[in-house]
Amino acid sequence: MTRYEVYFSSGAARQLRKLEQQQRKRVLHVVRGLSEDPRPPGIKALRGRVGYRIRIGDHRVLYTVDDGVVEVWVVKVGHRRDVYE
C-alpha cells in the first residue's frame, strides 16, 4: 500500500502549537496514521466543502486527500466549537 505524505497548512500548524502538550500528542498520533490510511473508519466527509474530519476527543482535524499526488493536507485543527468557522 502506498504511503501518503502528510502536510500541515501554516494555519493548522499554528493551531496545533496552541494545543496543550497532551492533546497535541494525541492529534499528531492520529495524523501520522493518515499516512497509512487517509480514510480510516470513523471519519466523516465534510458537507459543503471538500475534505474530511476526524474526531479526537473534543478536537477535530479537518483535512483533504489528493490521491493523484498521494498527499494529505491538514487544513485546520481545533476545538469542535471553533474549527468549522
Write out the chain's pLDDT in tens, 85 residues. 689 999 999 999 999 999 999 999 999 999 999 999 999 999 999 998 899 999 999 999 999 999 999 999 999 999 999 988 8
**Residue 85 lies inside a defined structural domain of this protein:** no
What pLDDT was estimated at residue 14? 97
Report CA 24 to chain centroid distance, whole Å.
12
Number of domains the chain contains: 1
Q: Is 6 helix (H, G, I), strand (E, B) or coil?
A: strand
CATH code of 61's domain: 3.30.2310.20
Q: Looking at the domain assignment, is residue 84 inside a domain?
A: no
72 neighbors 38 (Cβ within 8 angstroms): yes
pTM over 0.85: yes
Residue 59 C-alpha from the chain's centroid: 10
Let me know if residue 57 belongs to a domain. yes
Host domain of residue 30: 5-79
In a domain, 32, yes or no: yes
